[in-house]
Structure 1
Amino acid sequence: MRFGIAKDLITPDITTYMSGYASYFDRPFLGIHDDLYVRTLSVDDGHKRLLFISLDLLFHDAALTRTVQEWTERHFGFPPDRLFLTYSHTHGGPAVRGYDDVSQHSGEYEAFLLTRIQSCIARAMANEFEGSLEYGSAAGDWNINRRLPVGGEVTNNPNPQGVKDDRLHVLRVLDTTGKTRVILFNYACHPVTVRDTPYISGDFPGRACQLLEAEYFGAVGMFFQGAGGNSRPKVTAYGGSFITCTYEEVDEMALSLTRSIKRLCRTPGALSPVKLTLDASQFTVRLELEPFPKSYLEELAANGYPGLRKIAVRVLDKYDDMPDDIELRAGLAKLSDSLYIAYMGGEPCCEVKQKLEALFPGVTLLFFGYADSTAYIPDDKIIAEGGYEAEGSAVEYGHKGSLKNGVDARMAQAFKNAYDRLSKR
């Protein structure tokens, strides 16, 4: 088995607007608290290769992934199906194309970002080594459900009884000397610890990567966001609402998370060898929309916050020509006969992952969400309940309506088809 690893700085070197909160609109960042990175891992079982890319950004539209896939295929013969690119979803990053209003993102930063991603891929290909892969997991109580039913409506407040994914997944790559070269961890939680503090930061995922790299000199820490659409850091839940925390509290959360990872790595038998049999399939899932009345969009265009007003105006201008569905990018990566990674755009909610896991008994399923800025991805139950993830955020993503019931069946069919293809090869 061969692996390649690299990371590159993607912190803006120019002043840009920020992404993730309405309060950031037309506000440039005031400074850089900690740097942002792109990290790349290539995995080769001797027959097929997979490439995983993580970026310390909120997210981007799917066009960036397609551009990176096409470039990698031209330069390294890498099939697009085998390149998986996702975002940590930090709310401490710069505005980017495809999610933020066109007046917010910087063309200069977009060009810089693409160049750094390409450089990181090229150096990962040049930095290949023989090694082995191990997998383990642990429970981690760092997140909390943010959908609280109150008076027949769903509010955005801490819900200690709400469903959440508390599983911390860890993949460790060792070279032939037994040295740790990569620590990849996967957890589901919005990186919004300091909320709309106007400083560039990777939040808790970025800090955890720093701590792991300090612990394992020469290694690269990599974070992949899970189905964290309806969860927030538990440390931000206080007095029945969510508060703005400090960078010291970011550090405490990251230290706790890192200690769990280190405990897994140091406990005999906690990580098991993975016999690689690589394969992958990427596909799209069409999800139907329930269009909003034009009067609703007209109200947002007149009275919404500044960024939302602009989006609502654009949706109204194109309303009659817009499709009544959206196209969700998704995929499945096979690491071994019993270890798979589900891959999905948008902001998937915890229930989406749980329902996919139930399709594949006997298989451990990691879940990499936030592959692009499609929309929040709820399950049918959340759609019926309503709330921000179901309908309140739809216009922010530039859609003419919210998702219709039927998501569960469409997801199940698409992922089951992909699993059937990969399991039979």
Structure 2
Amino acid sequence: MLSRVFLAVVLLAGAGAAQEFKAGVAVRDITPPQPVPMWGYGARHDYLSTGAMMPLHAKVLVLDGGNGKVALVGLDLGRGPTYAMMERIEQRVRAEAGVTCVLAVGCHTHHGPAIELLDQPGLGQGKFDAAVAYAKQLPETLADAIVEAANGAVSAAIGVAVEETDLNRNRHSKKEPKVRDPRLSVIRVDDLNGKTLAVLANLSAHPVLENIMDRRFSADWVGHLQQGVEEQLGTMCMFMQGASGDMSPNTNAERKGPGGFGKAVAAKVAGMAKAIQPAVPATPGVSCLHRSFSGPSRLDFKNPIVVGTLSQAFFPEMMAMLVEVPDNTVTAKLTSVLVNGDLAFAGVSGELFSDLSNQIKAQSPAANTLVFGYCNGHCMYIPTESAVGEGGYGADPTVAWVPVGTGEKIAAQAVADLRELAGK
């Protein structure tokens, strides 16, 4: 039985003077400076990286509602920061900048660095010291960027556009019609002089178009998307991955490969962003709720054969990931955020299947709702019960560790939390 073991609430009511909506941005290069093992494909095992096709970045947009601040962090990484990293980040940004909520989302590139390795024997120490050092520095780098963005926030206006597209496809289901979340969501934030501070894009699609055995770092099509928008609009573009557990890019002859697909998405995002007319919120505010769900792993990590097989599929030191599965208990985390009463975020620490995103968006009280996967951690795949019934990669216990039904519980809780935040 899935059990909820942790609840933290941040409901900060405004008091005194009228609240003002502000926004701030920051960017950091997070490309590893030395060769390290890569994340994403077991076939590469512990072969070290050999350079970079493009720099990897962390991009931060802080939205300040006067009563609370949410930091949106788009990462050119395969996953969100570890739970231990998130504790450090949240501790620092709250103390140094009053940031009450963080949504740190990995774009899920399969050409980023492994960030799980630890300074412990057998888990990275001695053999992969460069990767251990990178993992130690990463939360400090991200916290620095969030603090910079929060403390540099200026009065701002915000607007949102959402369109249904054919940019993704269901890679898992054999049932017709195949379910998917077709929405491309774009947020544009301007200062009060009309200068665009940031464009944020949210779409559900795996970044897996680069060559598997190319050991150079890349954000895959997501990197080309961000670069393309920045070239067209002259402002920071960040990407927040959606519920892409069962979603792949829907490529064709006109949008082929990471460059072709990324540029096609960039053209769409730029066009949507240009059409947005940002407005100063009438009732600014930021509030959030944090939840954790824990239960027995579907894969038995108490069985040495299971652990041995997994370590050979990747590499032994990568079993550092299992520090987050103590006593065979796997934890998924949910963060629900309401901004200005009409914009909602639901961030989940795993590879959500797309219909879970559909469920949240269909029942959310907000005018616009964005769902993020790979957020504030990584507990592997979170399939729907229907997908588990079909079986196959992404739904089977080897990569979907959370108890069956966890996804539906998370979706229902996200809706309940957003309704609570909206006072409904």
Q: With structure 2 as the length reference, what TM-score do the two structures score?
A: 0.82
Give the aligned partner of residue 152 of structure 1: none
1:33-90 residue CA offsets vs partner (Å, 9 max, x unmatched)? 00001111111123322211121101142211111001112222333xx122111111
The runs of 5 or more residues in structure 2 that have no matched partner are 1-20
Does the C-alpha gap of structure 1 residues 362 and 118 become closer, same or farther in structure 2, counting only changes over 3 Å?
closer
Deviation at 1:163, TM superposition (A): 1.7
Does the C-alpha gap of structure 1 residues 30 and 368 become closer, same or farther in structure 2, counting only changes over 3 Å?
same
Deviation at 1:289, TM superposition (A): 3.9
1:322 aligns with 2:327: yes
Letter in 1 for 2:51: G
Give the aligned partner of residue 264 of structure 2: 256
**d(CA) in 2 for partners of 1:232 and 1:387?**
15
1:70 aligns with 2:98: no
* Contact 1:61–1:373 (8 Å) recurs in 2: yes
Does the C-alpha gap of structure 1 residues 287 and 175 become closer, same or farther in structure 2, counting only changes over 3 Å?
same
**d(CA) in 2 for partners of 1:285 and 1:338?**
27
Letter in 1 for 2:141: R
Matched position secondary structure for 1:389: coil
The runs of 5 or more residues in structure 1 that have no matched partner are 150-158, 239-245
Deviation at 1:300, TM superposition (A): 7.2
1:92 aligns with 2:105: no
Deviation at 1:290, TM superposition (A): 4.0
Mapping 1:392-407, distance limit 5 Å: 392-394=397-399, 402-407=401-406
Matched position secondary structure for 1:405: coil
Equivalent of 1:226 in 242, 248, 251: 242
1:304-350 residue CA offsets vs partner (Å, 9 max, x unmatched)? 844277778998x999x824x42211011102333211110011110
Q: How many residues align?
A: 392
Does the C-alpha gap of structure 1 residues 111 and 313 become closer, same or farther in structure 2, counting only changes over 3 Å?
closer
Equivalent of 1:172 in 188, 198, 215: 188
Deviation at 1:229, TM superposition (A): 0.7
Letter in 1 for 2:110: H
* Contact 1:36–1:201 (8 Å) recurs in 2: yes
Mapping 1:7-406, distance limit 5 Å: 7-59=27-79, 60-79=81-100, 82-97=101-116, 102-103=123-124, 106-149=131-174, 161-196=177-212, 197-217=214-234, 219-235=235-251, 249-267=257-275, 275=282, 276-290=284-298, 292=300, 298=305, 301=308, 305-307=312-314, 322-323=327-328, 325-360=329-364, 363-371=367-375, 372-394=377-399, 402-406=401-405
Give the aligned partner of residue 420 of structure 2: 421
Matched position secondary structure for 2:395: helix
**d(CA) in 2 for partners of 1:294 and 1:12?**
33
1:264-293 residue CA offsets vs partner (Å, 9 max, x unmatched)? 233376x77755332111111234544559
* Contact 2:160–2:276 (8 Å) recurs in 1: no
1:227-264 residue CA offsets vs partner (Å, 9 max, x unmatched)? 001111222x89xxxxxxx9x72121111111112222
Does the C-alpha gap of structure 1 residues 304 and 51 become closer, same or farther in structure 2, counting only changes over 3 Å?
closer
**d(CA) in 2 for partners of 1:76 and 1:318?**
28
Deviation at 1:367, TM superposition (A): 0.4
Deviation at 1:115, TM superposition (A): 3.3
Does the C-alpha gap of structure 1 residues 306 and 214 become closer, same or farther in structure 2, counting only changes over 3 Å?
same
Does the C-alpha gap of structure 1 residues 25 and 180 become closer, same or farther in structure 2, counting only changes over 3 Å?
same
Identity of aligned residues (%): 21
**d(CA) in 2 for partners of 1:272 and 1:162?**
37
1:211-230 residue CA offsets vs partner (Å, 9 max, x unmatched)? 2222222x211100000011
Aligned-residue Cα RMSD (Å) equals 3.2
